[in-house]
Amino acid sequence: MNNQLIELSIYGFAILLILVVLLVYIKKQRRESKIVDVKIEHAKSEGIHEPVSLYPVVDPNRCIKSGACVDACPEHDILGIRNGRATIINASHCIGHGACFRACPVEAISLWIGTEKRGVDLPDVSPTFETNVPGVYVAGELGGMGLIKNAVSQGREAVENIVKTIKKDVKAQYDLIVVGAGPAGISATLAAKKYNLKVLTLEQGTLGGTVFTFPRSKIVMTAPMDLPLFGKVKFRETSKTELLDLWHTVLSKNNISIKENSKVEAIVPGGGIFNVEILGGDVYSSKAVLIAIGRRGTPRKLGVPGEESEKVAYRLLEPEEIKGKNILVVGGGDSAIESALLLADNNKVTLSYRSDAFNRIKVRNAVDIKEAIQNNLVDVKFNSNIVSIDKDSVSYTMKDSTETLKIKNDLVYIFAGGELPTQFLKKIGIDVTTKYGESILKH
């Protein structure tokens, strides 16, 4: 009898223990789900829940909530575990390296591009990277595949195809013009040099493409890649500086210079060659053109005197380094407001916007800018138009007035929208298809 009692107590204790563990587990799961719910709501209000390009899709019937995808993603809070399943939080921050895809032990993740609500425009290209305009090729992220490694491979492979088509008897200044000097354009330029093509690379901004815009502290994730005229690059994790230094070194060792600050405005075919026109009027002829302009587009300019000055920029890099300056931010969208707020910590900031109120901005930004105005942290000039940018000042007019006013100024940041890559491609006659949700990487 005693033994029976002891046995019963042991079973009872074991069952109780299991129940306690189960309860703790369920509570923990509920708590985690609640946190993820809050993050999703926040992402929705910030407009970053919906993907802009590539993003992971989780098959709920396969997911075993291992959490491996969440741990594997180095970009933070793109995925989370909610109600025992992996789910999307900030899809727009996904850069598509597929670490989640490879980490999932039950192959429940695939990578997609575009959604039913938000289509993604992709140029139609053949397996040789040629578009429907013969002689014009596309490589890199513009074609839909993100990542430095993919851009480098595509730039190289595109040139391996182009080199077979170059005709000696056709007369042009160049065999190949590469548009854009991000990872794809740099790799293509090196490959062209390797195959002795006469190549010109035109970059609207600064060599490095999107990588140039990364924060200095960002860990750049990549995979070993084959860089023409260099060989295997064995990085898995690197920094922006290390990557840019590598490209600069390989280019200069091979006497290649890239023409920066040269925005390609038009590519006009005629007589078996292409005339490539850059902003400012210069025109270069070429037998083939490779477009490697990524997906970020071209910032719109104000078109005022002095805009070409070095103190004018169209994106904000490393705001923490900028201190004690008189800064003008131009624009009324989220980028302008977020930049003005960031800079206001250590500088005197004026925000010029040509309308009389901020429309279509994130709720968070609307609240923050209102508070910054009330606390005199940002001087917002609604209904103002910049008329000229000078060395130490900026001149502007107010709506319904002809009087020109002046403010002291050291730096100008312009966020006036821009031309999307799709518009650029369509101008050249390249066919573009909108993808409304297509799997590009699946098991």
Distant-in-sequence, close-in-space partners of 242: CB < 8 Å, separation ≥ 6: 235
Compute the half-sphere exposure of residue 173: CA atoms within 13 Å on the CB side of its CA.
11
Among ligand SF4, ligand FAD, none, what binds residue 334 when CB lies within 5 to 8 Å by partner kind? none
Distant-in-sequence, close-in-space partners of 310: CB < 8 Å, separation ≥ 6: none
Q: Binding ligand FAD by CB under 6 A: which of 120, 147, 304, 336?
A: 147
Alpha carbons 185 and 177: distance in angstroms, whole number? 10
Q: What is the dihedral of CA 358, 363, 369, 370, to 10 degrees?
A: 90
One character per residue 295-334, x = contact with ligand FAD (rule: CB under 6 A): -x-x------------------------------------
One character per residue 252-281, x = contact with ligand FAD (rule: CB under 6 A): -----------xx-----------------
One character per residue 204-243, x = contact with ligand FAD (rule: CB under 6 A): xx---xxx--------xxx---------------------
174-203: contacts with ligand FAD (CB under 6 A): 179-185, 202-203
Alpha carbons 359 and 366: distance in angstroms, whole number? 9
Please answer whether residues 382 and 331 qualify as being in contact, where contact means their C-beta atoms are separated by less than 8 angstroms.
no
Judged by beta carbon, residue 217 or residue 255, the one nearer ligand SF4 is 217
Total of chain residues touching ligand FAD, rule CB under 6 A: 35
Among ligand FAD, ligand SF4, none, what binds residue 99 when CB lies within 5 to 8 Å by partner kind? ligand SF4
Binding site for ligand SF4 (CB under 6 A): 56, 72-73, 75, 78-79, 94-100, 111
Judged by beta carbon, residue 63 or residue 276, the one nearer ligand SF4 is 63
Alpha carbons 335 and 319: distance in angstroms, whole number? 13
Binding of ligand FAD at residue 146 (CB under 6 A)?
A: yes
Judged by beta carbon, residue 197 or residue 233, the one nearer ligand FAD is 233
Distant-in-sequence, close-in-space partners of 2: CB < 8 Å, separation ≥ 6: none
Judged by beta carbon, residue 52 or residue 57, the one nearer ligand FAD is 52
Cβ atoms within 10 A of the Cβ of 234, count? 10
Among ligand FAD, ligand SF4, none, what binds residue 98 when CB lies within 5 to 8 Å by partner kind? ligand SF4
Instruction: Work out how close the CB of 52 gets to ligand SF4 at its nearest, in angstroms, rounded to a whole number.
Output: 12
84-143: contacts with ligand FAD (CB under 6 A): 95, 97, 140-142
CA nearest neighbour of 58 among 112, 134, 7 = 112
Instruction: Work out how close the CB of 267 gets to ligand SF4 at its nearest, in angstroms, rounded to a whole number.
Output: 32
Judged by beta carbon, residue 154 or residue 350, the one nearer ligand FAD is 154
Instruction: Work out how close the CB of 424 gets to ligand FAD at its nearest, in angstroms, rounded to a whole number.
Output: 6
Judged by beta carbon, residue 235 or residue 353, the one nearer ligand SF4 is 235
Alpha carbons 219 and 224: distance in angstroms, whole number? 15
Among ligand SF4, ligand FAD, none, what binds residue 185 when CB lies within 5 to 8 Å by partner kind? ligand FAD
The backbone torsions φ and ψ at residue 363, rounded to the nearest 5 degrees and listed phi first, read -55, -45
Instruction: Work out how close the CB of 238 gets to ligand SF4 at its nearest, in angstroms, rounded to a whole number.
Output: 16
Instruction: Work out how close the CB of 364 gets to ligand SF4 at its nearest, in angstroms, rounded to a whole number.
Output: 23
Binding site for ligand FAD (CB under 6 A): 95, 97, 140-142, 146-149, 151, 179-185, 202-205, 209-211, 220-222, 263-264, 292-294, 296, 298, 424
